[in-house]
Structure 1
């Protein structure tokens, strides 16, 4: 069947003009803070000689994924709240869909790598430098990138080939698969199963791996000193907060039958807008090494300007 749709209309978070201005202001602040915060984390790690451990190596890629993931969604949402007609072209929709799943999956896999790094550091401290060597870390990051690419291609391929012959109104602020499939002029039952088995499996499997690793970490802490327990618990608590805020909404969206709920848009805000902002805050404000490195970076900057 021929595809007659060249653009989609996004209804956004609200149609109320006053509320749109509020949404514009809030998410402009969120997005600006997200990009600046993550770029600051990357700059601090790259310029600091004390942040050379695998944890910070993975944190660099997490911040990169967060910046790109947020940039895939937030700018369009911000601009749309000042526009009279909120539209996105068919190609733009497919691009957003691809980038969202690529950087989202990359973030998921990097979080898994970070949990593995913490597991080795806390549960096998004597073998940590041998196991988490530079070569292995590089291979793991390549694995995350390839895995994200495969995931995003398998998500976009079925949607790209679907016929859209008339309805083009998406009740969302982004081009996500579930609301998009409802507009197709074809039976999408099999594709919906593929979406659930793909994104749903990635979310559930990653969440299970992450929580299992933290359970092992917390169990192993019984043999550590009071200071070691405090430091490890602080790190693990920060990671668990990120995991819950990111994965619970994802699981709610991607592991159920193709049913659209009014609350879906608000739930999506947590993993598309809130989590990319929280990551740099949690990993810096709760980490003395990063805070010290940032202070040194700022001090050097001030001295160079004098």
Structure 2
């Protein structure tokens, strides 16, 4: 039984297809996020000769197929290694937005490479037992340019449940330990942050200190991203600190978008002809 070569690199949220040939019996696809030697776990419903592997989390994954025949020892295919990279987001603009035939228009595009952590991290209450701090990490490696500048971080987005938003201080920590305060006791007795995006400047809803819960949309950070220094590669943390007694919450997920220099642009139009 042979696992046919497939994409060695993939992007988050997009399926990469693999197939297996040879042998008799039923098939069960397995993956491991740990090592080429496993441990492997079965992928639910992946029992045909082809497999569409998809992950929303960046990292290195290992894929193999198991073939089973009643009364016989299971057979395993060779193992393929797949590196899941972050997806790329693109924003375009035109100046001016309307032109006459034969006139010129300037087209601009900016990209961002996104990294996410979808795991829940409970925020403990600030009481005699706990200091009220929790970190949700994102590990980045091989990113270019590797040195942090004021323009490296494009945005930080998150969903956080909390019964009293005014208790929270939310900070972004770079791998070297530098940090910026995104939210500091904003929202008073409002609840939750729902699809909240923080940028250094230019947020459509202004500074988040003046916003109201659940802060849906794009807001300016309470501190400029220029406070982040050092190396991009390493462990980033979204830190939530509960400042008072009596309320708790959870970091549900968050996404960090960085500006990369490794992106190629191709322009097209509909209808064609510009």
TM-score, with length taken from structure 2: 0.22
What TM-score does the superposition give when structure 1 sets the normalisation length?
0.21
Q: Looking at both structures, which has the greater relative contact order when contacts are Cα pairs under 8 Å and sequence separation is at least 6? A: 1
More strand by share: 2
User: Could you say which structure has the higher helix fraction?
Assistant: 1
